């Protein structure tokens, strides 16, 4: 029962902060609300016994990626006066893709069955040791593929950022 109350509070906070991300006029506030949103999602992970995932989520997303995001937004100095007008084509394209996304979400929601709330049973499957075990045995290939992908991305970034030698 208690976990249900916590879940509803967390869920409400997640949705609220996600909405604020979209509706904030100031991009800095958007970024800060996104950080709050990540925290509530980490809370959901903890509710599902995934401690490791929760803390890694905070370190990677809230601690690193959002810092860089905030960094960029601060340096861009965005405000109303400098906001360029976008062509009509962009607006239509954005509307169509947003509408398609809504369609997909609605279609997938239609076929889901919403059962009664069940508190997740206590399990140790989300502990660091168990996650590591599964990651390095059962899912070794996808794990290694992901790291190759990351290295490719890193090398790409270095190549792009490298100064031309005259």
Among residues 1, 22, 75, 89, the one that binds another protein under rule CB under 8 A:
75
Category of 164 on φ-ψ map: left (φ > 0), alpha (ψ -120 to 50) or beta: beta
Does residue 48 bind another protein (CB under 8 A)? Answer: no
Binding mask 129-148 for another protein (x = CB under 8 A): x--x----------------
Q: How far apart are CA 110 and CA 50, in angstroms?
A: 28
Examine residue 59 and tell whether it contacts another protein (CB under 8 A).
yes
Q: Does 19 bind another protein (CB under 8 A)?
A: no
Q: Which helix or strand (DSSP H or E) is residue 90 part of?
A: helix 88-111
State which of residues 6, 18, 48, 70 lies at the interface with another protein (CB under 8 A).
Answer: 70
56 binds another protein (CB under 8 A): yes
Judged by CB under 8 A, the chain residues 84 through 123 that form the site for another protein are none
- Rounded to a whole number of angstroms, the minimum distance from the CB of residue 71 to another protein is 6
CB of 26 vs another protein, minimal distance in Å: 8
Question: SS3 for 42?
Answer: helix
Round to whole Å and give the CA distance between 33 and 19.
9
φ and ψ at 83, to 5 degrees?
-70, 120
The span of 1-9, 60-68, 80-88, 109-117 binding another protein (CB under 8 A) equals 60-68
- CA distances to 35, 59, 138, 147, 166 from 159, rounded to whole Å, are 30, 27, 34, 18, 16
At how many degrees (to 10) do helices 66-76 and 27-47 cross? 170
20 counts as binding another protein under rule CB under 8 A: no
Residue ranges binding another protein (CB under 8 A): 28, 32, 35, 51-52, 55-56, 58-59, 62-64, 67-68, 70-71, 74-75, 127-129, 132
């Amino acid at each position: 029962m208690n976990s249900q109350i916590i879940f509803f509070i967390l869920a409400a906070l997640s949705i609220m902060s996600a909405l604020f991300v979209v509706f904030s006029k100031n991009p800095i506030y958007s970024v800060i609300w996104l950080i709050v949103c990540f925290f509530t999602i980490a809370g959901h992970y903890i509710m599902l016994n995934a401690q490791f995932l929760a803390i890694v989520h905070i370190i990677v997303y809230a601690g690193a990626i959002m810092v860089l995001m905030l960094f960029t937004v601060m340096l861009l100095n965005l405000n109303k006066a400098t906001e360029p007008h976008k062509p009509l084509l962009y607006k239509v394209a954005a509307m169509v893709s947003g509408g398609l996304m809504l369609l997909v979400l609605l279609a997938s929601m239609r076929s889901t069955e919403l059962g009664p709330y069940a508190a997740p049973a206590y399990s140790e499957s989300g502990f660091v040791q168990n996650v590591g075990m599964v990651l390095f045995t059962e899912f070794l290939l996808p794990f290694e593929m992901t790291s190759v992908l990351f290295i490719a991305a890193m090398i790409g970034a270095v190549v792009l950022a490298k100064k031309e030698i005259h």
